[in-house]
């Protein structure tokens, strides 16, 4: 599958494209798209809460559940592990699982720092 990098606009494929798709799903809240209201995940709804250990477990469960929603288009990756880790400006989700017959590991950062004004 071929895609476009969300930051650079360049063409990406393979593993980079998979991570880009997963990042898009994890950072898009459900009902966040007008024509595809069931696309996305419940991950963003936990971002405003205090990051207690129990909240991190709920967030991990929401992240894993997103892989099993067919509209998200992530059926080519089968997660075996998801770990949420606190960062200074948000958190990161570390995933491990099977993709194209290989075990892969990667990170999806979820930044909650205030956006910078361009004006």
Question: What pLDDT was estimated at residue 104?
Answer: 96
Between CA 62 and CA 34, with CA 38 as vertex, the angle to 5 degrees is: 130
Question: What pLDDT was estimated at residue 50?
Answer: 76
* R_g of the chain, CA atoms, integer Å: 14
Contacts of 115 (CB under 8 A, 6+ apart): none
Question: What pLDDT was estimated at residue 77?
Answer: 95
Mean pLDDT, the chain, integer? 87
Mean pLDDT, consecutive 10-residue stretches, the chain (119 aa), reads 81 91 91 87 82 89 95 94 89 95 93 52
Question: What pLDDT was estimated at residue 118?
Answer: 46
Taking the C-alpha atoms of residue 109 and residue 101, their distance in angstroms, rounded to an integer, is 25
Strands (E), 1-100: 2-4, 11-13, 77-87, 90-99
pTM of the predicted model as reported, rounded to 2 decimal places: 0.84
């Amino acid at each position: 599958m071929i895609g476009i990098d969300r930051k650079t606009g360049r063409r990406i494929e393979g593993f980079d494209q998979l991570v880009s798709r997963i990042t898009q799903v994890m950072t898009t809240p459900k009902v966040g798209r007008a024509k595809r209201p069931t696309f996305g995940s419940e991950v963003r709804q936990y971002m405003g809460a205090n990051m207690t250990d129990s909240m991190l477990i709920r967030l991990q469960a929401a992240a894993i559940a997103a892989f099993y929603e067919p509209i998200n288009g992530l059926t080519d990756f089968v997660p075996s592990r998801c770990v949420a880790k606190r960062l200074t400006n948000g958190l990161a989700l570390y995933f491990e699982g099977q993709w194209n017959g290989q075990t892969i590991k990667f990170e999806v950062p979820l930044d909650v720092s205030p956006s910078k004004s361009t004006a």
